[in-house]
Amino acid sequence: MTEATSEVTRPRPAEATPPRLFRDEARTEAVQCLACGGPIALRGFGAIQRVVCPACGSLLRPEDSGALALIHRAARAHQESVLPLHARGRLDGATWEIVGICWRTVPGWPWQEFLLYNPYRGYRYLAHSTGDGHWSLGQVIPGAPKIVPGKRHAIVHRGRSYRHFSGADAYVTYAEGEFPWQVQVGDAAHIDDFVAPPHGISIEEVAASDGVELTRTAMRHLDAAEVWRAFDRPGKPPKQKGVGMLAPNRWREQARSLWLSCLVFLVVWYFAVQHVSGSASEREVFQATDLRFDSVLSQEVTIGEPGASTTVEISFTAYPLDNSWAFAEVVLIPLDGEEAIGLGMEASSYSGFEDGESWSEGDRQVDHVLGRVAGGRYLLQVTPERDTSALAENDPLGLRLGTFGPFGVRSPDTWAIRVREDVFLSRYAILPVPIILGFPLLAWLLGRRRERKRWANSDHPT
């Protein structure tokens, strides 16, 4: 069975009104089991309908006189629950005592249900799934949640929407203590669980002599360590496994704040980038146009200030490029140093028709940015090269008339070079963006993965 039934409860009556006699700690009434003679201490007083002897499992009913009447004699061994009967713990700002323990199961998925009692607050229901170790705390709610129009398996209660998780028939397999409802081994109830983690609503349907009895219980997830501390239990609680029906999804809870934080960060980063890019001078160091491919350029240039570093952009352009390529080997040789800077730059332009549609690729101009170039004097050497096979094919007689170059100069088969300093590196502006967006995206993916694990145990797996 699915995880849903691990956090549900039995039909509950309305909570008992706190008696006036409880001005101090509640007193208990000691009686004996009519079947085995074992001592039984009653805590719930007038609200109790059934008492199950912890020792032998016999069913008893409180009489008006305060004595117990035997309903069914049983002889079964006491079974240890994860929390003992009559243990006291502090939850929701109040001290509660376990007055009843009920084990329930659906095929393949058992859980233990602890009836908590406080004379001033009534009853609460603490459920522990023995299959995966998850805990929840419940309280009967008055009235009925509203069904969401136009949506299947969804309800609304106090402004919160709940989705149906699962429905199943659950059976009582063990009970001990006292209960404000008639309980015995073999009792069955149909349970439908609706969830909005870490909250949930359990709707329980029990066949009664006069029709069907419905009980609605609001549940919330409890951490195992919190339960263990509340009841002062030794050691560690049973280990939790998987994603419980009501287990909170921390990734989804943090997603909204992460997205807002990243939005603020992106806005701040945008203005910071605008400020830095606007302060860049992008001064032109050298420019040459209308250069022939059969010549090598050698030019002394001064870049930046001595002792400081700057960013340098080198642009190489070739014209015309008609289904061909052009290449330039660019070298910056420091006149006052030893380490030269070299790079290869290739421009290309290809086009054609395929399947009745035209296509084109490449670019006649290529740019390359060098970061942290030391200021000083350099010897700029450019060795160009072009695709001569394409020229022979396109202009076999050498009658090319030329075309406009990159800077408005009409010249056949020429290239141009331009060097600028103190340019803004756009890659540094773009690089942090995926990192900034990566955090909320990662939270979204992890949250989605957790939800898939949760709903894999439901009647509506995603």
Longest dimension (CA), the chain: 125
Q: In terms of domains, do 108 and 63 share one?
A: yes
The tens-digit pLDDT sequence of the chain (462 residues) is: 334 333 434 444 444 444 443 444 545 566 888 888 888 877 776 678 889 998 898 888 888 666 788 888 888 888 999 999 999 999 999 999 999 999 999 887 899 999 999 999 999 999 999 989 999 999 999 888 998 887 778 999 999 999 999 999 999 999 999 998 888 899 999 999 999 999 999 999 998 777 788 999 999 999 999 999 999 999 999 999 999 999 999 998 888 888 999 999 999 999 988 888 888 888 999 999 989 988 899 999 999 888 899 999 999 999 888 888 999 999 999 998 888 999 999 999 898 888 888 888 989 999 999 988 999 999 999 999 988 775 555 554 444 444 444 444 334 588 999 999 998 877 778 888 888 889 899 999 999 999 999 999 898 887
* pLDDT number for residue 33: 87
Q: In terms of domains, do 333 and 409 share one?
A: yes
- Note whether residue 456 is domain-resident: no
- Note whether residue 96 is domain-resident: yes
User: In whole angstroms, what is the distance from residue 248 CA to residue 199 CA?
Assistant: 9
Helices 432-455, 250-279: inter-axial angle, 10-degree rounding: 170
Q: How many CA atoms lie within 13 A of 131 on its CB side?
A: 21
Q: In terms of domains, do 178 and 50 share one?
A: yes
Domain count, the chain: 2
Closest CA to 302 of 281, 286, 280: 286
Q: In terms of domains, do 297 and 396 share one?
A: yes
* pLDDT number for residue 14: 46
- Note whether residue 318 is domain-resident: yes
CB 22 within 8 Å of CB 119: yes
User: In whole angstroms, what is the distance from residue 35 CA to residue 43 CA?
Assistant: 20
Q: In terms of domains, do 188 and 232 share one?
A: yes
**Per-residue buried b or exposed e for 122-137, using 16+ beta carbons within 10 Å of the residue's own CB:** bbbbbbbbbbbbbbbb
- Note whether residue 258 is domain-resident: no
Q: In terms of domains, do 325 and 237 share one?
A: no
Q: In terms of domains, do 221 and 345 share one?
A: no
Judged by DSSP in three states, 415 sits in: strand
- Note whether residue 458 is domain-resident: no
Q: In terms of domains, do 196 and 342 share one?
A: no
Closest CA to 47 of 87, 100, 101, 7: 100
- Note whether residue 208 is domain-resident: yes
Q: In terms of domains, do 55 and 99 share one?
A: yes
* pLDDT number for residue 403: 45
The one-letter code for the residue type at 255 is: A
Q: In terms of domains, do 180 and 86 share one?
A: yes
CATH number at residue 326: 2.60.120
| Residue that finishes a domain, picked among 193, 224, 248 | 248
| Residue that finishes a domain, picked among 224, 248, 272 | 248
- Note whether residue 94 is domain-resident: yes
Q: In terms of domains, do 11 and 85 share one?
A: yes
The alpha-helical segments, DSSP class H, found in 125-249 are 224-230
User: In whole angstroms, what is the distance from residue 276 CA to residue 73 CA?
Assistant: 87
Q: Which residues contact 397 (CB under 8 A, 6 or more apart)?
A: none
Which position has the token pair 């074992």? 38
Q: In terms of domains, do 336 and 413 share one?
A: yes
Residue-range definition of the domain harbouring residue 57: 3-248
Closest CA to 253 of 291, 301, 205, 221: 221
